[in-house]
Amino acid sequence: MTSSPLSGKTALVTGGSGFLGGAIVRMLLEREVKVRVLCRGSYPELAKAGCTVFQGEISDAELVSKAVAGCDLVFHTAAKAGIAEPYSEYERINYQGTLNVIRACQQHKVGRLIYTSSPSVVFSHGDVSGADESLPYPDHYDAYYPKTKSMAEQAALKANSPELAVVALRPHLIWGPGDNHLGPRLVSRARAGRLKFVGDGKNLVDTVYIDNAAEAHILAAEKLAPGSVPAGKAYFITNGEPMPISQITNLIIGAAGLAPVTATISPKIAWFIGLICEKVFKWFKLEGEPPITRWVAGELSTAHWFNIDAARRDFGYQPKISIEEGIRRLHAAYLKANQFDKPDKH
């Protein structure tokens, strides 16, 4: 067990069955925190680990209130990601769901709310290179996810008060063992021969290893209190190791035994293909995500790396797992799961 100011407290983790939420749950249990989880599905392993599980939607205000009642703090990680759903779904889960969490915290006099946001809430067009938290919200968003996450972040920070201390964390591109989004998507496309870099692949991007992202949430929670330095603020969370997008991508797929990708596509062509894909999926009401959208094309072809000095200073965040060590652990996980692509021997 790990000693912590949170030991003996009761915490709710929304989305606690997910990649980040699950890692936070694990770290809380290691600190002898009484953990509640609100998640959509049935996860017997959470109950077996000692969690109290509330099953249902974050948009169910009554359920959220029930899960929050009696808690000392709440980690709100539940969100709708991706690009496939209509706006109403992102608004219902990302924004209205967050309002439900805020209201429940206020109703039940919870003292601390740690909200998981995203750096995309401040993405505009063009590169983001070494930016800090002074970067403003843009006037327009090209996708529903960043728009609704921005709405939710602003609502959460506005709710900060002498009774409820709120902090928003913005982890960027979380990866590692257990990832069910970024890594598997890259590996799947690489295996199918459909992975290309938009542009020359030299644009710098920040990522964050899963344990670092989760620990940032724990550290922020330990420091958070009404009137404390982190209260009412947002923080970028990364590994502090920006790399060319081609390098980090090839490291992640290489952990699964795949050869490096070198294929590229012009940003202008990718943007035009994204436009066509969006129109086709809309006109023919196709299910799932388009292979690419204009927003994704823009994200993949520009730099996105951040200054994390504020998180280091205000709540002692220090990425303990380097990218090199994280890749080693990811490789070991692929081997253990027998999902490592072994090259053919001739």
- C-alpha span between 115 and 108 (Å, rounded): 17
> Please, are residues 25 and 51 in contact by the beta-carbon 8 Å criterion?
yes
> Please, are residues 112 and 228 in contact by the beta-carbon 8 Å criterion?
no
- C-alpha span between 166 and 183 (Å, rounded): 30
Single-letter code of the amino acid located at 202: K
Two tokens at 124? 């505009």
**On the CB side of 40, how many CA atoms lie within 13 Å of its CA?**
10
CA 214 to chain CA centroid, Å, is: 10
Two tokens at 148? 């609704």
Sort strands 128-131 and 304-306 into parallel, antiparallel or unpaired.
Answer: parallel
- C-alpha span between 258 and 277 (Å, rounded): 28
> Please, are residues 85 and 46 in contact by the beta-carbon 8 Å criterion?
no
User: Which active-site residues does the annotation give?
Assistant: 145
* DSSP SS3 for 12: strand
Give the DSSP H or E segment for 238.
none
Burial tier of 109 (Cβ tally within 10 Å: 0-12, 13-18, 19+): exposed
Two tokens at 286? 């196709």
> Please, are residues 248 and 323 in contact by the beta-carbon 8 Å criterion?
yes
Number of Cβ within 10 Å of residue 204's Cβ equals 18
Give the DSSP H or E segment for 196.
none
